[in-house]
Amino acid sequence: MTLGGDTGFLIGVIERQKVAVEYWQQVLNERSVLFISTISINELLTHYYKRGKGDIARKLIEEILLLGNATFVPVDKEIAERSAGYRYGLGIPTVDSIVLATFVRHSCDVVLTTDGHFESAVKQDIIKVKMIQQSE
């Protein structure tokens, strides 16, 4: 399975949220590949800089790359163009539109997110989304 992991998914893995950990195990067991937008690096590091743990978070990102089946995807021309369509057409924030375009570009089977803006992509049948919630 090809997974698109949003920032909330990574936080969920770190905080041991049940659903996030289940999907993460698929990646660790090489039953799934994981795509993550480089935008999530920004959000993850900002989050941990605020908590004085930026160095550890940077190590985590480097270590994720060593898995070989997890990739951080930068914004290229195609993703930028596609994201503009989502931003305008779905009325979602720029960051969400870039993250969504990244996952669509890499034909992700499911997006793992905590962000409600992705529901508009589901309604338009653009991609499947698994909302990760604290109660699960």
Partner 1 sequence: MDAIRVCITSEGFIPIPESVRKELDLKPAQMVMLHTEPGKLIVEKPSRQQVIAELECLCNELRSGEPLEQIWAEIEAGREEER
Per CB under 8 A, residues contacting partner 1 are 7-8, 11-17, 28, 43, 46-48, 51, 53, 56-60, 62-68, 93-96, 114-117, 134
Q: Which of 133, 136, 129 is nearest to 8 (CA)?
A: 133
Contact 95, 76 (CB under 8 A): no
Q: Least distance to partner 1 from the beta carbon of 58, Å?
A: 8
Give first-to-last CA distance, the chain, whole Å: 21
Residue 31 main-chain phi, psi, to 5 deg = -90, -15
Q: Least distance to partner 1 from the beta carbon of 95, Å?
A: 4
Q: Which is nearer to partner 1, 32 or 96 (CB)?
A: 96
Q: Which is nearer to partner 1, 67 or 122 (CB)?
A: 67
